[in-house]
């Protein structure tokens, strides 16, 4: 059917590449382009001959908009799948506009020198994408991504009004290291060391980092400590879900992870303020990233499961209603299938599905959209088909 240009060749991109290759009817060609071309070539060598999808590779610095535009014009893809880092989002959107191609990503823009993510920078592109007749799909990972599709699905099929959403992200995987992050360490640590917040009655309520803790008994996993974090889908769901009064996001962390994080923060090595080291300017967090295990190396070592889902409370036909929808993913099964652990898997699969929704015309609409703004049904079907089946519970235990 068409061609995708995948930018980035890290953990999430690896899964997306495998999934495009399992779906050759839609992706009959992919070009993998990243800063380090050898990583793209490694994926090509792994998959070539095992798939009908034609694979090419290229070197590109996505922050160099003219170079990226030239690459897009040369490769002529139908869509660009941005799986680089959030810092590149605006540059890649600029190149897509210049070359006239649709866009999809999994994480919202974040300036490199400020640990703050917000949609306002990408929403500012709405008119330009609309005028160009191009679609930009924001946040097609798991959270944001599937959690937002779950919300659209709950709204469409089960509720007249949703009042409360709790998004619960549990990773019960064990990689055997005292401290490692499951996706890009820089992005992960910026996210979890920031202040928490939740959306209530049209306003943000801010908390200290990890101030709010709950224990939840996760299906197929058991009880885990979870902590309230700020998370990007709260911002768009607060606008797009009818009647919403409160949305919170919780993520599980083990004691060892939190103790290490606290210690690293106390010694100043999670800071993003540049310092002078032996006459050279370095960012402490980037140095920490360089000494931590590469998330892509965790695949063969990680055992256990993830469970990510949403609990909704609201009304249907005048009566109170609750609904829990979630996916359970097994780290070892993911590794057997695509050579990655479940955190990359749960992000890379929805990235492929989001691109497929646009390429097949199901979600083709000029403008910039968050994922919950589209019809959730074909995406929910594709989750079952491509390795992220979901389960429903109509009387779940609630989070207080």
Ligand X SMILES: NC(=O)c1ccc[n+]([C@@H]2O[C@H](COP(=O)([O-])OP(=O)(O)OC[C@H]3O[C@@H](n4cnc5c(N)ncnc54)[C@H](OP(=O)(O)O)[C@@H]3O)[C@@H](O)[C@H]2O)c1
Q: Give contact residues for ligand X (rule: CB under 6 A).
A: 7-13, 34-36, 39, 60-63, 83-86, 88, 106-107, 141-145, 183-184, 187, 295-296, 347
Let me know if 34 is exposed, middle or buried by CB neighbors in 10 A (0-12, 13-18, 19+). buried
Contact 150, 371 (CB under 8 A): no
- Do the beta carbons of residue 212 and residue 196 sit within 8 Å? yes
Question: Which of 360, 393, 391 lies closest to 378, judged by CA?
Answer: 360
Total number of residues shown for the chain: 400
Distance separating alpha carbons of residues 372 and 394, to the nearest angstrom: 21
Q: In what order do the strands lie in the sheet with 27-34?
A: 54-59, 27-34, 2-7, 79-82, 102-105, 135-138, 367-370
- Shortest distance (Å) from residue 295 CB to ligand X: 5
Which residue number places its CB atom closest to ligand X? 10
Which of residues 191 and 321 has its CB atom nearest to ligand X in the complex? Answer: 191
Q: What is the DSSP letter of 56?
A: E
- Residue pair 371/145 in contact (Cβ under 8 Å)? The answer is yes
Q: Which two tokens stand for residue 341?
A: 């652990």
**Which residue, 141 or 396, has its beta carbon nearer to ligand X?**
141
CB of 133 to ligand X, least distance (A): 26
Report in angstroms how near the CB of residue 89 gets to ligand X at its nearest: 8
CB of 61 to ligand X, least distance (A): 5
Q: How far apart are CA 216 and CA 207, in angstroms?
A: 20
Q: Nearest 10 degrees: CA dihedral of 342, 348, 350, 351? A: 160
CA–CA distance, 97 with 69 (Å, rounded to integer)? 9
The token pair that represents 332 in the structure block: 């070892």
Taking the least distance from each CB to ligand X, the nearer of 90 and 258 is 90
Least distance CB 15 / ligand X (angstroms): 9
CB nearer to ligand X: pick between 41 and 130: 41
Least CB distance from residue 62 to ligand X, whole Å? Answer: 3
CB of 354 to ligand X, least distance (A): 10
Q: Report residue 95 as tokens.
A: 């190149």
Q: Which is nearer to ligand X, 41 or 61 (CB)?
A: 61
35 versus 316: smaller Cβ distance to ligand X? 35
Compute the least distance from the CB of residue 108 to ligand X, in Å: 9
CA distances from 358 to 73, 100, 102, 136, 148 (A): 19, 14, 8, 9, 17
Min CB(99)–ligand X separation in Å: 16
Residue placing its CB nearer to ligand X in the complex, 91 or 321: 91
The smaller minimum CB distance to ligand X, of residues 313 and 347, is found at: 347
The residue (of 4 and 83) whose beta carbon lies closer to ligand X is 83
The four Cα atoms 192, 113, 101, 141 give a dihedral, to 10 degrees, of: 0
Closest to ligand X by CB, 169 vs 330, is: 169
Dihedral sign from CA coordinates of 373, 374, 375, 379:
negative
The least distance separating ligand X from the CB of residue 347, rounded to whole angstroms, comes to 4
Q: Is 73 helix (H, G, I), strand (E, B) or coil?
A: helix
Give the DSSP H or E segment for 81.
strand 79-82
């Amino acid at each position: 059917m068409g061609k995708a240009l995948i930018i980035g060749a890290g953990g999430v991109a690896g899964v997306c590449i495998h999934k495009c290759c399992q779906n050759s009817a839609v992706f009959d060609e992919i070009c993998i382009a990243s800063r380090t071309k050898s990583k793209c070539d490694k994926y090509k060598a792994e998959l070539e001959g095992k798939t009908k999808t034609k694979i090419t590779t290229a070197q590109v610095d996505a922050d160099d908009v003219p170079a990226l535009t030239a690459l897009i014009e040369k490769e002529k893809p139908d869509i660009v799948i941005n799986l680089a880092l959030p810092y590149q989002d605006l540059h890649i959107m600029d190149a897509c506009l210049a070359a006239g191609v649709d866009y999809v990503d999994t994480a919202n823009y974040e300036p490199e020198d400020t640990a703050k993510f917000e949609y306002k920078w990408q929403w500012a592109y709405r008119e330009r994408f609309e005028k160009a007749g191009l679609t930009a799909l924001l946040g097609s990972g798991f959270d944001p991504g599937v959690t937002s599709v779950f919300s659209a699905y709950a709204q469409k099929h089960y509720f007249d009004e949703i009042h409360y959403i709790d998004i619960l992200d549990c990773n019960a995987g064990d990689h055997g290291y005292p401290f490692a992050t499951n996706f890009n360490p820089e992005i992960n640590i910026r996210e979890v060391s920031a202040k928490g917040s939740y959306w209530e009655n049209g306003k943000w309520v801010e908390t200290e980092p990890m101030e709010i803790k709950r224990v939840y008994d996760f299906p197929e996993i058991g009880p885990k400590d979870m902590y309230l974090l700020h998370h990007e889908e709260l911002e768009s769901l607060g606008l797009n879900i009818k009647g919403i009064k409160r949305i919170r996001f919780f993520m599980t962390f083990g004691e060892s992870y939190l103790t290490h994080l606290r210690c690293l923060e106390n010694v100043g090595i999670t800071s993003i303020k540049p310092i002078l080291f032996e006459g050279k300017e370095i960012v402490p967090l980037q140095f920490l990233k360089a000494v931590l295990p590469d998330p892509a190396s965790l695949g063969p070592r990680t055992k256990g499961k993830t469970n990510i889902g949403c609990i909704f409370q609201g009304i249907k036909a005048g009566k109170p209603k609750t609904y829990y929808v979630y996916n359970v993913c097994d780290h070892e099964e993911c590794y057997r299938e695509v050579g990655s652990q479940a955190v990359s898997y749960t992000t890379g699969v929805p990235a492929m599905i989001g691109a497929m929704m646009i390429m097949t015309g199901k979600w083709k609409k000029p403008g910039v959209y968050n994922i919950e703004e589209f019809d959730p049904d074909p995406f929910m079907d594709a989750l079952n088909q491509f390795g992220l089946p979901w389960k429903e519970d109509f009387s779940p235990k609630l989070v207080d």
